[in-house]
Structure 1
Amino acid sequence: MLRALLYILPLALTIYAFIDCLNTPEEETKHLPKVVWVIIILLFWIVGPIVWFFAGKVRRPASARHGAGGWVAPDDNPEFLKSLKDESAQAKDDESTLKDWEADLRRREEELKRRERGEDTEG
């Protein structure tokens, strides 16, 4: 089992580095052209992927990657938090409107019952 792990982990690392290298735009590769990085990753299948991750790609901080227009966690997104407040205010407005409608319905039902009782006694 341990022998299999000694082959599977470097292979998985190599595959991941290979795919990462292929998906990286040419302008984000450092020191060497992208084609050379692919050859290094595939030829030196333990050292190549490690060197790629540390020296082959421009690393940007998370704030730069997900800055303007990018994905932001909901609890860090002021627009999302504002929309929750707006929804909460809308729900309160809807609730007050519903209470007004229920009160109006009760008033109309009572008025209708009074009319029916009045018509029954008159008739």
Structure 2
Amino acid sequence: MARLLVGLVAIAVAFYVYALVDCLLFARVRVRGLPKVAWVLIVLLFPVIGGVLWFLIGRGRKSAGKQPVYRTVGPDDDPEFLGALRVDPVSEAQLRDLEQALADVDDDPDNKKSDNGRSER
């Protein structure tokens, strides 16, 4: 019987500490019923019953209407991101000229490289 009593006292003390810390750290604007200071005093003066009352009555719930809802938008759905994209400024004629210049460099016999990476002369 003594072990059961010690266990119940340990659970009551843990609940008391948890309720007190929760009451102290809870946002003042979300407290219901009484001012926050009054709830702290109730939890302090009536350890178990004050904690139960705090969780049932005093602790307000999150309300979806007061907090803004943020939505993640992918880049393909974001008009700002899509507006920032622009067409590549290289035209088809410039692209063909670059390809031709690279082909000319590849065909140049003086620019051939050997297997070890050095130019042959």
Gap runs ≥5 in structure 1? 70-76, 84-106
Which residue number in structure 1 is paired with residue 114 of structure 2?
113
- The DSSP-based 3-state class of the residue aligned with 1:21 is helix
Match for residue 12 of structure 1? 14
Q: TM-score, normalised by structure 2?
A: 0.51
Partner of 2:72: 78
What do residues 19-64 of structure 1 show as CA deviations (whole Å, max 9, x unaligned)? 1111223332211122221121112211111110110021115x56
Change (3 A) 1:4 1:34: same
- Structure (1 or 2) with the larger CA radius of gyration: 2
Q: CA RMSD in A?
A: 3.2
Distance in structure 2 (CA, Å) of the matches to 1:5 and 1:18: 20
Query: How many residue pairs align between the two structures?
Result: 83
1:29 aligns with 2:31: yes
In structure 2, the CA distance between the partners of 1:3 and 1:67, relative to structure 1 (3 Å rule), is farther
TM-score, normalization by structure 1: 0.51
**C-alpha separation between the residues in 2 aligned to 1:41 and 1:47?**
8
CA apart distance, 1:113: 0.5
Runs of 4+ with deviation above 6 angstroms? none
**1:4 CA displacement:** 3.0
Q: In 2, Cα distance between the equivalents of 1:12 and 1:65?
A: 32
Alpha-carbon shift at residue 67 of structure 1 (Å): 4.7
